[in-house]
Amino acid sequence: MIILVSITVIFINTYVLSQRNFSLVSDNVLDRNFRKGEQIYNRNQTKLFFPQPLVQRSLLPDLGCEIDDKCSDDTIPYKAISGEGTDKYPIICFNNKLLIHKTLKDTKIGRGLNVAVVDSKTYDVKFIENFDTYLEETFFLRFLRLKLNDGDIAIIASHDEMTYGLKDASLTLLENYGSQTIKGVKYRDSYVMIGQKGLARGKAIEMHQSKGRSDFGSAAQISGCAKFPLGQITPLSFPTLEVNKEGKIAVGT
């Protein structure tokens, strides 16, 4: 009888100790996870305690969107190539998706500036447009001012000739998308850029190819992996004015 009681006591003590150890291990794991989240909070100055979800993308890039770099889970693959002359059209890829190419159905592509706009939070495509800035800048200028939200990603590729109709207002506005070289782009040069609305000058990813003594500049190309935002985003605001156009009152900027 005494032996049976002793065995029972030993069993109970062993069970209690094992549960206590399990509790301590669990608490340590939770504490490590919390502290890991705390470090992220302190480093990024955000209210998130745990890492953000990884970027979702196709395992294989669309044809024509291949790049040499292998992007980490928290970066976005991109590729932008300007047109070359009048026959070679621009290509824009983002997050392994082909957005602008002459073979795409219902594609908007042509002379001037070809633009793809992506939401910086969801990476959803918001707009794909072509602006013939050889003729004039009005639609392009209003698009950049009114259609995009602060932080939206603008991917731009030139084709044929892009500068003749661009005035200082558009060039200065592109500097507010991060460009540093746009005011140096001349007649029939080639140009590509990835910027964001409200990005400081010099923070965009861009390339400019001068035509030199040739008829046209060679294709400008950028590709790689980018982490967004590319820099600090400063909200932009523009005054809204009433203008009289052909006898009608319209709202413009």
Q: What confidence tens digit (pLDDT) does each residue in 195-216 have? A: 999 999 999 999 999 999 999 9
User: pLDDT tens-digit profile of 87-133?
Assistant: 999 999 999 999 999 999 988 999 999 999 999 999 999 999 999 99
Q: Which residue shows structure tokens 């000058």?
A: 201
Q: Output the pTM of the full model.
A: 0.75
* Average pLDDT of the chain, as a whole number: 82
Higher pLDDT: 18 or 164? It is 164
Q: Report the pLDDT value the prediction gives residue 68, as an integer from 0 to 100.
A: 96
DSSP, collapsed to helix, strand or coil, labels residue 135 as: coil
Per DSSP, the residues of 76-106 read EEEEEE--BTTTBPPEEEETTEEEE-TTSTT
User: Could you tell me the residue ranges of all domains in the chain?
Assistant: 1-52, 76-226
Which residue carries 């024509």 as its tokens? 64
Alpha-carbon span 133 to 241, nearest angstrom? 23
Give one word for 42, left, alpha or beta, with left for phi > 0 and alpha for psi -120 to 50.
alpha
Q: What's the farthest any 2 CA atoms get from each other in the chain?
A: 111
3-state secondary structure 19-72: HHHHHHHHHHHHHHHHHHHHHHHHHHCCCCCCCCCCCCCCCCCCCCCCCCCCCC
Question: Using one digit for the tens of pLDDT, what is the confidence trace for 64-74?
Answer: 999 999 999 99
pLDDT above 70 covers a percentage of the chain that reads 73
Residue 31: what pLDDT? 41
pLDDT of residue 222: 99
Tokens of 13: 């003590």
